[in-house]
Amino acid sequence: MKGIVANFLFVIVWAVVAHFFPLAWLLSSLIFFPAVFIVSGRTYAYAPLSHYTVVPYSLALILVSDFLMRKYGGGNCDQLGSFLIGTSFLITLVVSSIALIPASINLYMHNRGMCRVGGKERFKIVLYVLAMLQLVFALASVIEPEINLWWRQYLSLAL
């Protein structure tokens, strides 16, 4: 339970950093968010909660952080700045989802009192994290039209 409060306070502090140093947020959020989730998972900060609760909460924190950056981040953005913010959000979301897989497995083992997790349970956890990743990205596309715009605009050029 301490992990929930600590991660929320981390997002608020990170929003203040984004307001005064937007480039620092842009370049280092893909390192700090996974690090926070891994440390929270390794120290059992989420201990009484299930991974079914922790994964959507963690991904929603990234969505909130991105929204706060877009709303209160310092400076004005042109199309390139909007693309960089969107790309940073996407990379942060994917890297954090990958980091949440071992944290979820660790939390699953801790809550069940197990030493090892079988392949079937690992596969279920990986599929759950990937499903939550798709859900959060779809939600971000609906909430923030810029993400949907740059997704269609820039990735369609690659095809």
Average pLDDT over residues 49-60: 79
pLDDT tens digits along 89-115:
888 888 888 888 888 887 777 777 777
Q: Which residues of 121-141 are buried (b: 16+ CB within 10 A; e: fewer)?
A: ebeebeebbeebbeebbeebe
Containing structural domain, residue 104:
2-158
pLDDT tens digits along 62-84:
888 888 877 777 666 666 777 77
**8 A C-beta contact, residue 65 and residue 14:** yes
Report pLDDT for 155.
56
Q: Which residues contact 121 (CB under 8 A, 6 or more apart)?
A: 105, 108
Work out how many domains the chain is built from and give that number: 1
pLDDT tens digits along 4-17:
777 788 888 888 88
Give all strands (DSSP E) within 111-156, no chain letters.
none
Average pLDDT over the chain, rounded to an integer:
76
Question: Whole-model pTM?
Answer: 0.75
pLDDT at 158 over 80: no
pLDDT at 123 over 80: yes
Report pLDDT for 5.
79
